[in-house]
Structure 1
């Protein structure tokens, strides 16, 4: 009974997660939906690992949001708060923040650490 209930709940979560909009705005994700996004995205994904208490993260946050709006549907931008999702940051060996990682077809292709300018974000996504 518990197994059936768990499978139904998990299936419902997957249905809700896949129905989320994939528009240009950046969004925060948890570890499970990040993995789903990385493995199913048809466009490159730029992931920013950050924390609310981090001064360089605060400095670059408006640039990340602006960049996300500017690129439209050419790529996706995802923000992961390491305090809320320590598993995701551990899985991707994030040791300093902010850390930006570009993924294509679910594989990491580039990494930058620190508050980077939009030009570098564009380069990371080959835009």
Structure 2
């Protein structure tokens, strides 16, 4: 899983050929810590179809404000440089995969 910043968000997320799942996270957010192993596993298992990155909201206020992120964790999926799906709150891997099914299916077609 890659850490992105205000400085490299454009290159890593907007310019990505793969769909990108961005977790907006914070060091003080317990549910964000719970998601770390889930996202790491997702990045390993779906790496050919989905890029998984995280952005610390406290260190990167410009991107956080641009996408109006108010709660952590917030997940935004970007495809072709545009946000296409947003989800708020920690969730089990199975539920996250179900919510990402349309993004993953479009990529594998």
**Normalising by structure 2, what TM-score?**
0.85
The answer on 1:106 being equivalent to 2:76 is: no
What pairs with 1:106-125 in structure 2 (closer than 5 Å)?
106-122=81-97, 123-124=99-100
Higher relative contact order (CA 8 A, sep 6+): 2
Aligned partners of 1:38 and 1:105 also within 8 Å:
no
Rg larger in structure? 1
Task: Give the total of aligned pairs.
Answer: 102
**Over aligned residue pairs, what C-alpha RMSD do you find?**
1.4
Report the equivalent of 2:107. none
The answer on 1:36 being equivalent to 2:11 is: yes
Aligned partners of 2:4 and 2:12 also within 8 Å:
no
Unaligned runs of 5+ in 1: 1-25
1:124 Cα deviation from its structure 2 partner: 2.3
- Give the ranges of 4+ consecutive aligned residues of structure 1 lying more than 4 Å apart after TM superposition: none
1:118 Cα deviation from its structure 2 partner: 2.0
